[in-house]
Amino acid sequence: MNEQNQPSAEVVPTGTSDADAVRLDQGHIHGEGGYPEAFENPGLPPHTPRLTDIDEAAAKRAERQIAGLFTLSIIGSILFLVGYFTFGVDARNWFPGVGVMSTTHLLLGAGLALGLLGIGLGVLHWSRTLMPGEEIVESRHHLASSDEQRAELADTFVKGVEGSQINRRPLIKYSLGGALGLVSLPILVQLVGSLGPLPKDDLYVSAWSGLPDENGKRTFSAPRLVLDPENRPIKASDVTIGSVFHVQPEGLLDLHDHVLEEKGKSSVIVMRLDPGDFADNDLGRKARDWGHDGIVAYSKICTHVGCPVGLYEQTTHHLLCPCHQSTFDVTQDCKVIFGPAKRPLPQLKITVDDEGYLIAAQPFMEPVGPSFWERD
């Protein structure tokens, strides 16, 4: 290297490490381009055989331990399935060190953990005891592999399989096969078995069809519309033009159990329009006819994915869903005029009773909430 190419303490080549920079500073570097000179490859330290490489009894012991870990995984997966199918979600018991908790959830968690842990530890132990233990150096080559290199890779793979002794040790082969086969079952069971009941029957009824009796039967009783959460019935005269009310069927807010489930399907928004504001088409006429003197009631559950539609623009008579901006035109029976919702908000037909209170004239005639595949 000539004088001009000698690195100086001020000029540090790009990519030079801190340690190199110090050595540059001290004038120790004389490699081409200012980089450290190549040094002799020290090679790998000599390979020390493991006990399992030289002692077949130790190898056998390791084999049994590995099979034991895979068996542990199998037991974990079976435990998961037993927990899933044997106990109801409400079954609770006391467990030492855990306290009172759901038996199902404990078995599901413990079973899945054992199922995965057994496989993980088994493979780890296998690689540390029986798979080839030598360090291997692979030099960098051009990215594209030649035919010889591909053949070499295939050969390495075959040798790796032979080195893992999987063909010589059927105990490992079959226990691993069993563990891998079973560990997928909990995931499948979770995916398929936990989807819950088909929504058809549930979503076609709401508390507007009547509150469920002890047998779950509902009988329509023309419930009054009560303010949520005040639980106070409203008269038609309370609803002035431009005002908005959030209501539930009378009796629902007095329930002790399943209030939220019932409210989730029964929330209704009530508005009053000037009867002349309804669109002069079939949709506008139907909306007006199902209301009372310009007062209309619609399900508040967005038909997109179920957010509460609570924003009412009284000048345009638009209802907006804050989640993804679906917009429903109240003058046209809550037809979707913008956004991802695919069907109008269901209308609740209302009228008044002898005392002038707003009541439901009939239950919802279609399911409320997001569209689903069983809908006709």
CB of 342 to ligand FES, least distance (A): 10
List interacting residues with ligand FES (CB under 6 A).
Answer: 302, 304-307, 321, 323-324, 326, 339-341
CB of 349 to ligand FES, least distance (A): 23
Q: Which lies closer to ligand FES via its Cβ, residue 129 or residue 303?
A: 303
Q: Which lies closer to ligand FES via its Cβ, residue 238 or residue 366?
A: 366
Tokens of 93: 């018991």
Q: Which lies closer to ligand FES via its Cβ, residue 304 or residue 335?
A: 304
Residue 317 CA to residue 328 CA, distance in Å, equals 9
CB of 303 to ligand FES, least distance (A): 8
CB of 268 to ligand FES, least distance (A): 16
Q: Which lies closer to ligand FES via its Cβ, residue 341 or residue 358?
A: 341
CB of 242 to ligand FES, least distance (A): 23
Q: Which secondary-structure segment (H or E) carries 98?
A: none
CA distances from 165 to 58, 131, 161, 168, 218 (A): 14, 7, 7, 5, 67
Q: Which lies closer to ligand FES via its Cβ, residue 163 or residue 339?
A: 339
Q: Where are the beta strands (DSSP E) in the chain?
A: 92-95, 99-102, 225-227, 244-249, 268-272, 295-299, 311-313, 318-320, 327-329, 335-338, 347-348, 350-352, 358-360
CB of 246 to ligand FES, least distance (A): 16
210, 220 contact by CB (below 8 A) = yes
- Residue among 264, 230, 231, 228 at smallest CA distance from 246: 228
Q: Which lies closer to ligand FES via its Cβ, residue 253 or residue 368?
A: 368
225, 244 contact by CB (below 8 A) = no
CB of 122 to ligand FES, least distance (A): 46
Q: Where are the alpha helices (DSSP H) in 147-269?
A: 147-163, 170-193, 200-204, 259-266
Which residues, in sequence order, are CB contacts of 58 under 8 Å at separation 6+?
51, 52
Handedness of CA 104, 110, 113, 116 (dihedral sign): negative
Q: Which lies closer to ligand FES via its Cβ, residue 16 or residue 347?
A: 347
Q: Which secondary-structure segment (H or E) carries 71?
A: helix 56-86
CB of 253 to ligand FES, least distance (A): 24
CA distances from 273 to 288, 310, 334 (A): 9, 16, 13
Q: Which lies closer to ligand FES via its Cβ, residue 168 or residue 324?
A: 324
